[in-house]
Copies of this chain bind each other. A is one copy, B any other.
C-alpha cells in the first residue's frame, strides 16, 4: 500500500517479465516457430486469454523478445570489447567478432530470431533499431579509432559506387573515408554470414575446427577495413593481396 505506484502496476511489470522469461525459455527449447501463447500461459498458471492483457498479440511478444535479444548480444559484445579497449584495433575487432559468434552459439534460437528469416508479414518496428545497432556502432568505433591517426589506404572504389559510398559515410561515420565505411558495412554483413553458416548447419561436414577458421576469417575481414596487425606494418600496406 505504501508503494507509490501501487500494487497493481508492480504486479503488471512482474507478470510481464514472467511472461517474457517463460517465452524465452520456450524459445531456447523449441525455437520461435513453436512458441505458443497457450503453452506460456499454461506454464504460468493462467489462461491464454489473460496473456492478451500484456501483449496484444503473439507478434508483439516476439517483438519484445527480439529487442531483448539484440540488447543481450549488444551487451555481450560491448563487455568483450571493454576488456580489450586498450589493445590494437585489430585485436578489438576480432574480439568483438568472436563475442558475436559466442553469443550466437549460446543463444541459437534468439540469433535465428534476429538474424534469421523474418516472420512473414511481420515487420520489425522502429523500436528495435537502437538495440539492433549496438554491435554495428561498436565496429564503427573501432575502425574510427584505427583511422584516427594514420589512415590505411584502401583500393579506390569503382566510380559507380561513389554516390552510395558517400551517402554511407555521411550517415554512419562522416569522419571516415567513404571507401572505409563501404568496406565496413560489407564486413559487417559478412561477419553475420560466417556466424549464420556455422549456426544454421551449412558448415556441417565442411568446416570441422571452426574456432581458428572463424578467427582467421574475421581477421581477414579486419584487414579489409584497413586494420593491420602491429607486426604487419612493415611496408605500410597490408601484407599482400594479390601478390606480385
Contact = CB atoms under 8 A, between A and B. Distances in A.
Interface of A: 30-34, 109, 112-113, 115-121, 124, 152-161, 163-164, 167-168, 171-172, 182-183, 185-186, 188-194, 196-198, 200-203, 206-209, 212-213, 215-217, 220-221, 223-224, 226, 228, 234-244
Instruction: Give how many copies assemble into the complex.
Output: 2
Contacts of A32: 117, 120
Nearest to A163: B209
Given A112-B117, A153-B243, A243-B237, A208 B164 contact: yes
B120 A117 contact: no
B201 A118 contact: yes
B196 A156 contact: no
Contacts of A242: 152-153, 223, 226, 228, 237-238, 240-241
A95 B160 CA distance: 17
Contact of A243 (B157, B189, B190, B238): B238
Contacts of A34: 120-121
A182 B194 CA distance: 12
B239 A240 contact: no
A214 to B, nearest CB: 9
A175 B202 CA distance: 23
Contacts of A208: 164, 167
A113 B118 CA distance: 11
Nearest to A162: B212
Contacts of A161: 209, 212-213, 215-216
Among the interface residues A154, A189, A212, which one has the most CB atoms of the partner chain B within 10 A? A189
Contact of A190 (B30, B190, B236): B190
A157 B193 contact: no
A234 B236 CA distance: 25
A101 to B, nearest CB: 12
Contact of A193 (B189, B201, B207, B224): B189
A115 B11 CA distance: 42
A30 B120 contact: yes
Contact of A241 (B112, B202, B244): B244
Nearest to A221: B190
Nearest to A117: B116
Nearest to A203: B189
Contact of A153 (B197, B201, B212, B240): B240
